[in-house]
């Protein structure tokens, strides 16, 4: 199946177009498919994408948690704090054994 970006004129005057994809099907016929646009209408680069992460049979809409950076930062801080607590506990245990 061959896929090409395309557009269809809509209304009169025909200066407005509908964003489509031309798909050449296995029997040779060409179909226009209208896609669903998900994104910021003022920023062309801010478009959601559909892709396959692990398998080419499982496609999904790619989304990101807006709090991901904050959550990762907090996780790093908590991990560092746990390391410090473990270090202090090890020092206390060593001190008690010496006495």
Residue at 48 is within a domain: no
Beta carbons of 50 and 61 less than 8 angstroms apart: yes
Shared domain for 65 and 98, answered yes or no, is yes
Q: How many domains does the chain have?
A: 2
Residue at 82 is within a domain: yes
Shared domain for 65 and 99, answered yes or no, is yes
The dihedral through the CA atoms of 39, 44, 46, 51 has a sign that is positive
Per-residue pLDDT, 11: 76
Residue at 83 is within a domain: yes
Residue at 32 is within a domain: yes
Residue at 43 is within a domain: no
CA angle 63, 54, 72 (to 5 degrees): 45
- For residue 36, the 8-state DSSP code is P
Residue at 98 is within a domain: yes
The alpha helices in 1-99, defined as continuous H runs, are 68-98
pLDDT band at 82 (very low <50, low <70, confident <90, very high): very high
Range of the domain at 83: 61-99
Using one digit for the tens of pLDDT, what is the confidence trace for 17-29?
Answer: 888 888 898 898 9
């Amino acid at each position: 199946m061959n896929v090409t970006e395309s557009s269809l004129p809509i209304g009169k005057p025909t200066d407005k177009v509908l964003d489509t994809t031309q798909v050449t099907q296995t029997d040779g016929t060409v179909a226009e498919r209208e896609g669903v646009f998900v994104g910021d209408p003022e920023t062309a680069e801010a478009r959601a994408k559909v892709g396959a992460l692990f398998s080419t049979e499982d496609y999904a809409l790619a989304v990101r948690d807006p709090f991901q950076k904050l959550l990762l930062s907090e996780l790093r801080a908590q991990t560092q704090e746990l390391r410090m607590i473990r270090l202090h506990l090890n020092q206390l245990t060593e001190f008690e054994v010496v006495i």
